[in-house]
Amino acid sequence: MTKLSSRTEFVKPTFQTSVNLDGYINIGSGTPNFSPPESVIQAFKESIDRRQLSYTSWSGLNTLKEAISRKLLKENKFLADPSAEILVTSGAQPAIFAIFLSILDEGDEVIIPAPYYSTYEEIAKICGAKVIPIKTDTSSNFTFIFEDFEKALSDKTKLVVLVSPSNPTGTVLLKGLIDKVYDKLKSLDIILITDEIYEHYIYDDHKHYSLMSEHVEKENIISIYSLSKGYGLTGIRVGYIVSNKNTIATIAPFHHAMNICAPVNAQYASIEALNLNREWFEVEMKNVIAARQLWMEFLDQLSLPYGIPQGAYYICFDISQCQKPAHQVSKDLRSDHQLIINSVDDKYLRGSFMQDLDVLKSGLNRFKSYLR
């Protein structure tokens, strides 16, 4: 057999929870269980009817970048120049890849609070870098303390990634902590990536904070956003990066090398999605909030420790009482109970609120039968 790249040793296939399978109940999906308003679908169709099938500029349609700029000002409270400070990408994942490729070298370190989305580590390793985790657990609601962040820093630190609201933990980081981390990194000339793709999912009295709202110069900050989660558009693949013009210009060729540009018809649909008011989304959030409550009540009944979800649409819970690694519990549930939910490191499973309530109840009953 032909010798393959050494990268295949650490980039391994995992079971996909983002799609549903016949005969299975999926209680771990990362895919919204709703669609955007019909006008968004219509915009996609009309762009095809107009034969708009060619490449756009590398950075995306001007009209889309202008719509993004208006959204950022309205919702995130900062200005971004659509001609220089926004790069439209083929979803958030290629955005991460392009950023890492443009910054990381062999031996560099990337600090990320753990548990974290595993793709960050895979991409870091592909770039020859190493992830340094800041370990957290349910006792702190998966929030790290600044002193632990400082201990993780070294002369090899090249990037720090803060995902808030968090996948997989649902944690929303406080403004004061984000500011403190940024101030430290800026003094060391280290870049901070803020992953804000779950920005629209916030619960109780928590607040989402965009760092650029107080740092308009955007130095040492790269922020990632997406149309996937908050707009129900995971399949059309549109995200965007915001930073200062020099950083955007540096990242753009790496995204071009992978994708040239984001899918053109998806860009037209995204313009319509961004221009709509958000009343339709508030209707969808009622089901999400109800599913969140159902999950917490279920875990309380079983005395399974979990982090209270402050944002995103996940709940991360400790499955140690099963006396098996979490990945084995996930595998058992899939093979013996036709229940899909993925593991997060050795201790945790990640539940999702993206399921109809009746189906979710059935899935949780299957989970309870496994625990018996």
pLDDT digits (tens, 9 = 90+) for 13-41: 666 655 667 889 999 999 999 999 999 99
What is residue 11's predicted lDDT score, i.e. its pLDDT?
73
Per-residue pLDDT tens for 257-292?
A: 999 999 999 999 999 999 999 999 999 999 999 999
What is residue 9's predicted lDDT score, i.e. its pLDDT?
76
What is residue 299's predicted lDDT score, i.e. its pLDDT?
98
Average pLDDT of every residue of the chain = 95
Reported confidence tier of residue 189, pLDDT bands at 50, 70, 90? very high
**Quick one: tokens of 173?**
């980081």
- Domains, the chain, ranges and CATH? 6-36+279-371 (3.90.1150.10), 54-275 (3.40.640.10)
Query: What is the C-alpha to C-alpha distance for residues 270 and 92, in angstroms, rounded to an integer?
Result: 14
Per-residue pLDDT tens for 310-345?
A: 999 999 999 999 999 999 999 999 999 999 999 998
User: In whole angstroms, how far apart are CA 241 and each of 43, 85, 225, 253?
Assistant: 23, 8, 6, 13
Mean pLDDT of 290-311: 98
What is residue 249's predicted lDDT score, i.e. its pLDDT?
97
Per-residue pLDDT tens for 124-139?
A: 999 999 999 999 999 9
User: In whole angstroms, how far apart are CA 164 and each of 193, 197, 231, 279, 280?
Assistant: 11, 8, 17, 23, 23
Alpha helices by DSSP H, listed for 235-278, are 245-259, 264-275
pTM over 0.75, yes/no: yes
Look at 305 and 2; give whichever has higher pLDDT. 305
Answer whether the bond into residue 309 is a cis peptide, omega within 30°.
no
Reported confidence tier of residue 4, pLDDT bands at 50, 70, 90? confident
What is residue 6's predicted lDDT score, i.e. its pLDDT?
80
Query: What is the C-alpha to C-alpha distance for residues 305 and 140, in angstroms, rounded to an integer?
Result: 11
Per-residue pLDDT tens for 84-110?
A: 999 999 999 999 999 999 999 999 999
DSSP class of residue 316? E
Reported confidence tier of residue 154, pLDDT bands at 50, 70, 90? very high
